[in-house]
Structure formats: structure tokens, C-alpha cells
Structure 1
Amino acid sequence: MTRPLSPPSVIRRGLVVVGTALALAPHAFAQAPIVIKFSHVVANDTPKGKAAEFFAKRAGELTKGRVKVEVYPNSQLYKDKEEMEALQLGSVQMLAPSLSKFAPLGVKEFEVFDLPFIFDDYNDLHKVTGGPVGAKLLKKLESRGITGLAYWDNGFKVMSANKPLRAVADYKGMKMRIQSSKVLDAQMRALGALPQVLAFSETYQALQTGVVDGTENPPSNLYTQKMHEVQKHVSVTNHGYLGYAVVVNKKFWDGLPGDIRTALSKAMTEATKVANDTAFNDNQDSLAKVKASGKTTVYSPTIGERFQLKKALVPVHKQLASRVGDETIQDIYNATGFRPDNL
């Protein structure tokens, strides 16, 4: 029969156990990586999807496995309308929402990116997203518990429908899907169209069943979501820009060790180049694939047709200035040299 331990023996045994546990603890913690759930609403083979996967890979490499980024594409975790609240609550750590998604948080200035024809090309755009104007806008998110890390391009948008869209008059009465944005609402109304707000994940079915007649998208979104299969006509208007801001829960970000934040920032810088280069190339390739499919007629407006479209839409800038912020609009005009009065 085993003799019961005397009190000193119990103490010694306990000290051995505790000491062993403490000795092993650092190794146990080192083996548990920091998990970042990165949620987005598009497919893995889109520019955003590819950049998110690249960021996940580089984050793991640069932190030597101390961080694990789990990417959830195609609205697997949250739909458009749900993901921002999930970020603020900490249910997900990172998102890359389209820029207009920040307006419901009260940061309406981000809708400036939705203004039609405010950027002529990528050169003008990157003067803003890569400069002080873009940084100033990201700073406005901090009071909402969000830290902005980068801007990622998707691309310039085309219009699609089941009838040709060439003249401004062709849009009259068309039910056009938009994402939630007062600017995009005003844009479609300026063309005589009827804007319909729908989640991105619901757009294909809505086009297929005739709930809406058409939509606007960069070619990569149009192609990867197979919208061209249910849209007979695409007009390469390049009238507006669709981009994203990669954002993270501020409390989570601020709580990370400094060296981890530095490594993740480097990974994000690299991923941003991947996102923007991929966006440009994929949109060119996607448009070519839409043409090659034979299911959709792709039309490039003449200089005159595009000028008339621009003339019809640029007044939206002034119309929405009180919402978006005249100062923000003027900041972009100054950065790009755009002069609406020259139209």
C-alpha cells in the first residue's frame, strides 16, 4: 500500500509540476500562430482573390509562421451587408470591401471613388490612392474602430445588358443593378435608368431571371461570375472605377506585436502591387475571353458617344458634393488636374 505523501512532499511534487509547465509554456505559445480571418465576397481567381491568397502566403513567410491568414472568398463567411459589422465586432479581422461600403459607417467621403469619370486612367487614380488624399481618407476610418492598410484596384467598369448600350438614351427605363451607394444611384438616374441595389452574390441570378436588366462591373468580375452568359451586350465605357480598401479591426491590429505589424505591412505592400498588376492584366484578359465566348457582343463606344456619356454623368459630381464632401472632390481634382468645366 502506497504511503500518503507528507505535506512537504506534496509541495515539492507541485513545484516540480509547475516548473515543468512553465518551462514548456513558451514552446506551447510559440506553436500557436496568430490567426487572421480575411473575408471577401469575390472568387479566388479575381484580382482581389489572388492578392488575398498572396498576402496570406507572404504573411506566413515574413512572420516565420507566427501568423496564419485564413482567406474566406465568395461570401463564405459574410455577405456584403454583413461583413463590416463582423469586422467591427471582431468576428473577422480583415476585409477588402469596395470603397462605397464605408458610407453606411458615416464615412461618406469614400463614395468619391464612385463618381463617374473622376479618373481618366490608372495614372490619375494612383495619384490619389498612393498619395496624401488616399491616406487622409483611410485615417477617417479609425474613429469607427477600423485601420486602413491599403487600396487595391479592381478596375474600370463596363456596362452590360440584354440590349445594346451605346447612346445615353439607351439606358432609359433599364433596371440596373448597383451596389449600395448614393453616388451610383444618382449616376444611373442621370442616365434615365432605374437603379436596383443587390448584393454581389445575388447579381447573377437576378440577371438570369430578369429581376434586373443590366449592371456595371470591371470585366474580371463580369467574367469570373459568368454574368456575360446572361448578358448579351457589353459596352466598354470605362465610366467609373471599382476598388477596395484592405482594412483590419483596429483593436486587433493595435494589439499585435510591433515586429508582426511591420512584417504584415511589408506583406501588404507586396500584395498591393500584385493586386493592381493582376487587376490590369486580368481585366484585359477577361474582356478578351468574353469576346471569345461568342455569347456576348462587346462594343467600344466612339469618342463622340463617350463624350456624351461623360457630359451626362459629370454633373453628378456637383449634385453629390454636399454628401461626399466638396473638399474631398476638390482634393482629387487638384491631384489629377481634372476640370469638369472644360466639358
Structure 2
Amino acid sequence: MIITRRTALLAGAGLLAAPAISHAQQPRTLRLNHTDTEVGARQEAANLFARRVQELTDGRFRVQVFHSGQLANDARSLEQVAVGSIDMAITGVVTYATHTRPLNLVALPYLAETYQQGWRLYDQSRFIAEQKQALIGRGMRVIGDWEAGFRSFSTNFPLPSPAAARGRKLRIAPVDMVRWIMESQGWNPVVMPVTEVYLAIQQGTVDGQENPVDTIFSQRFYEVARHITLSNHVYSPLWLCVAERSWGTLPQNARDALVQAGLESGRFNRETVAANDDRLLEQMTARGAVVNRPDLAAWRQASQGAVARARQEYGAETVDRFIEEASSLRSQG
């Protein structure tokens, strides 16, 4: 448009509409789904990720965050990412096992004993790197290593030892390894989406569930299953993934921004969750929860049946190689 003196005066007076922004100038919005609530560490980190993407792309790309499973539950969100109907999702690494079966092995019991050991495993393991690469062929690309923590129990009855679990109904995620661990410990596992668990415990459909402390707090499971037993039976981090179909339509600078934002928000999320456990347990205790810190020897022993089952299903060589890799990284401190 030619700028004349009259045009300038009209514009200054607000009497001339601004020229329409072209389609190419309009920011593109990417949808990100997760099942944590809006008060959890996951949402806080997701908001950071969204803000950094917008900053790194000078506003050309935006991320709209959907919490509490607003678009889909964990399993369904990955199905939708795989076909490109959701751009991104954050969910537990074990959830990805339905798309790349060997990932069940990341839920082997007691692979890590501290957060630092868990981070080293996911950052340096050759097995983990191979599974990330395999997921690309399933329609999803991991762009962020996030944190959920160590899985423990919250039940509506005291749980002093694995013997108390025998025959009790426990909600689990749809992951073979988790099911085998629970069966080995004596539980009767029941698969259901995490968004349905609170009501299921409240109604007596199940007697409890197993999840990291951050999830137990954010989903308020301690309100209906107030006995929290810190068994730490599985180290259970999160992955942020982007749909390959969405990735393929992005310019290189946008891809770089997603990866950079995923790295920064993942680092923030890891440090936040690791620092939060004791604080969240104190808050839950103040609200009526009873926290049990058991000797883990009995829980380790009760979980060994799952390792034997994994050797049968995946081959002793594959399982033992990964266990040895985890042990080597764990020994570094």
C-alpha cells in the first residue's frame, strides 16, 4: 500500500483499519496434551516449554497446553500423536511400550536407586537410544527427557510388606512389565486410565494404585488411598514427543526451537520433581496421609518374578544386557 499524508493521518486517528495479516504471518499453534493436573510439576514445565517455543520462534509458533487429559488419556494421546491428530504429548516412558514393545524393559524393577542414576541411564543408555530411534518409525519423535519419579503405592489399607498385597486389586498402567511386577508381588492388577483412578478407588473398584509421589499428589490419590508406601519399585520418567507428521511440516528453525525448549523444560522438570518429593509428602501427611518408608529388600525380592518373566518374553541375553548396562551406570554414583 502506498503511504500518503492522508493515509498516515487516517491511520493515526484510528480511522483506517490495519492491513490484514497474511496467512504466512499468522502464528501456527501446536497442541500439547498431558494427563497431569494444572497444579502438578508437569503443567509447570509444559508452560515453560510453551513460553520458550514462542520466544525462540519470535512468536511464529505457539504451543497450546491441554492438562488433565483434556484431549485424550495417556495411551490414546500417543495413538493420536502417531497419526498426527495431536501434535505433542507428555507421558510416562512405559506408556510408549505399546508402540515399541522392548520399552517394557525400562520398567524392570529397581534399575535406578536415585534420580541422578535414573538421569544417567536415560541420557547414556544405548538401549534407551535405540528405542527412541525405533519410535520415529511409529510416528513419534522424542524431543524431551522429563521426570515423574519413582513409582510407589497409595492404598486404602496399610501395606507393611508385600504379603499384605496378596489378592488385593491395584490399578496399573497398560504395561506388561508393571503387570508382571505386581503379579510377582501378589497383587491382582487392574488396567485403567489414570484419569479414572480416583473414582475407582473411591467406589471400591480397586484398593489402590502405583505412581510417583508427584502424581499421587497432583491427582489427589492420597485423599481416597491415604496409605503411601515408598517402595520405589520402578524408576518412571517421562518423554515429551512430537508427531512425525507435524515434525515433517516444520521449518528447521522451528524444529531447533522445539528441541531447545524440550531440553530446557526437561532440565527444569527433572530438578523440580527431584526436589519436591519430601515437600509433597509433608503436605499429604498434613492432610491425613500416612507415609510408610519400608525396608526395600523384601520388595526387591518379591519383584524378581517379573525379571524371570521378562527373560522368557524378551530373551535372557537382551534383558541381562540391559540390566548390566543399568548396573554399570548406577555404579558411577
Aligned twin of 2:210: 216
One of 303, 319, 325 as aligned partner of 1:334:
325
**2: distance between equivalents of 1:103 and 1:161?**
26
1:320 & 1:278 partners in 2: Cα distance? 32
The corresponding residue for 2:14 is: none
Give me the CA root mean square deviation. 2.0
Q: Which residue of 2 aligns with 1:230?
A: 224
Give the equivalent residue in structure 1 for 2:10. Answer: none
1:114 matched to 2:107? The reply is yes
Once the two structures are superposed, residues 225-271 of structure 1 have per-residue CA deviations (whole angstroms, 9 ceiling, x without a partner) of: 11111113111111212222111111221321111111221111101
Q: Deviations over 1:280-335 (max 9, x none)?
A: 12322211111111x22111113xxx101111113412321344564265235224
| Aligned residue in 1 for 2:6 | none
Measured at CA, do residues 194 and 78 of structure 1 come closer, stay the same or move farther in structure 2, by a change above 3 Å?
A: same
Deviation for aligned residue 1:153 = 1.1
Which of residues 279, 283, 290 in structure 2 aligns to 1:297?
290
CA distance in structure 2 between the partners assigned to 1:335 and 1:243 by the alignment: 15
Question: Deviations for 1:54-74, whole angstroms, at most 9, x for unmatched residues?
Answer: 100000011110111000010
Q: Over residues 67-119 of structure 1, what are the superposed CA-to-partner deviations in whole Å (9 max), with x where a residue is unaligned?
A: 110000101111233212211222110011222222222x1121222222121
Identity %: 27
Which is higher, the Rg of structure 1 or of structure 2?
1
1:142-163 residue CA offsets vs partner (Å, 9 max, x unmatched): 1112111122110012212122
Structure 2 counterpart of 1:96: 90
1:309 paired with 2:299, answer yes
Q: TM-score, normalised by structure 1?
A: 0.85
In structure 2, C-alpha distance between the alignment counterparts of 1:237 and 1:71, rounded to whole Å: 32
Q: Is the 8 A contact 2:34 2:89 kept in 1?
A: yes
Separation of aligned partners in 1, 2:305 and 2:319: 16
User: Where does residue 257 of structure 1 map in the other structure?
Assistant: 251
Measure, in 2, the Cα distance between the counterparts of 1:244 and 1:44.
17
Corresponding residue of 2:237: 243
CA contact (8 A) 1:138 1:148 kept: yes
User: Do the aligned partners of residues 189 and 297 (structure 1) sit closer, same or farther apart at CA in structure 2, a change above 3 Å counting?
Assistant: same
Q: Distance in 2 between matches of 1:281 and 1:93?
A: 30
C-alpha distance 159-335 of structure 1, shift in aligned 2 (>3 A): closer
2:272 maps to a residue whose letter is: T
1:61 aligns with 2:55: yes
Question: Runs of 5+ in structure 2 lacking a partner?
Answer: 1-18
For the 8 Å contact 2:107–2:234, the answer to whether it is kept is yes
Q: Which residue of 2 aligns with 1:192?
A: 186
Are the equivalent residues in 1 in contact too, given 2:230–2:293 (CA < 8 A)? yes
Alignment partner of 1:164 is 2:158: yes
The number of residue pairs the alignment matches comes to 310
Q: Pick closer, same or farther for the CA change 1:335–1:191 going to 2, 3 Å.
A: closer
Q: Which runs of 5+ in 1 are unaligned?
A: 1-23
Look up the match of 1:139: 133
Rate the CA distance shift 1:324–1:32 in 2: closer, same or farther, 3 A: farther
Distance 2:34 2:223 in 1: 23
1:128 is aligned to 2:118: no
Asked if the contact 2:201/2:224 (under 8 Å) is kept, the reply is: yes
Distance 1:210 1:237 in 2: 23
TM-score normalised by structure 2 residue count: 0.87
Distance 1:168 1:276 in 2: 29
| Paired position in structure 2 for 1:4 | none
